[in-house]
Chains A and B, each alone.
Chain A
Amino acid sequence: AQSVTQLGSHVSVSEGALVLLRCNYSSSVPPYLFWYVQYPNQGLQLLLKYTSAATLVKGINGFEAEFKKSETSFHLTKPSAHMSDAAEYFCAVRVSGGNAGNMLTFGGGTRLMVKP
């Protein structure tokens, strides 16, 4: 079964600093990978997705993620944090193809805090 691990339940950065949120997955078949953001009292908004095309994926709000098969990772980065980036971020995996399930399995989430 597929699974997702997000290292660091809380990450704190200063405004303007690099944001790095880590995600590792396990999957026996090529995965589809997603990052979602959840602002307080809101739903899950898709930031970006990897669906077996380019390994470097650009998303909304200046975020990007790189799929590294050898490391089974899909870390989320942003060169310069903004106060409005403070939120909970979820990495998720969906297994593609055949009779595999088409639901998402989520990581535990990482709360990003941005200090002025």
Chain B
Amino acid sequence: EPEVTQTPSHQVTQMGQEVILRCVPISNHLYFYWYRQILGQKVEFLVSFYNNEISEKSEIFDDQFSVERPDGSNFTLKIRSTKLEDSAMYFCATAGDRGGYGYTFGSGTRLTVV
């Protein structure tokens, strides 16, 4: 079964540093998403991306966050200057349509900011 691949699986970074989380979507999927899950809390939507632009974003997705598909395959989430409260599990998800038939999630990147 097709998978969404996320790298790295774990990342530890110092506060103020930039991090880039990477996702390889399922090849024929067109809609891409980032979600995050702070430890012990619910999964929260960050941003959706379609046709090389952001289609929606949440309040969490402020100016320190950005997304792009630099080479047409990888889908990346960049956090420009990490804060302690950015520590969370970040999930990439992709969908072949606007999600009516389900979203496939990657196994996540655990980001720890120290």
Contacts and interface: CB of A to CB of B under 8 A. Distances in A.
B98 interface: yes
Contact of A46 (B41, B102, B108): B102
Nearest to A46: B102
A44 B100 CA distance: 17
A107 B101 CA distance: 19
Interface string B30-49: 01010100000111110010
B45 A102 contact: no
Contact of B48 (A32, A49, A102, A109): A102
Contact of B45 (A44, A104, A107, A109): A104
A109 B108 CA distance: 17
Interface residues of B, number: 28
A102 B17 CA distance: 31
A109 B31 CA distance: 25
Contacts, number: 64
A102 B102 CA distance: 11
B8 interface: no
Classify chain A's interface size.
20 to 34
B107 interface: yes
A96 to B, nearest CB: 6
B107 A94 contact: no
A45 interface: yes
B22 to A, nearest CB: 15
A45 B100 contact: no
Interface string A14-55: 000000000000000000101010000011111001010000
B91 to A, nearest CB: 6
Which 4 A-B pairs rank lowest in CB-CB distance, beginning with the nearest?
A43-B107, A44-B105, A102-B98, A106-B43
Interface of B: 4, 6, 31, 33, 35, 41-45, 48, 55-56, 58, 91, 93, 95, 98-108
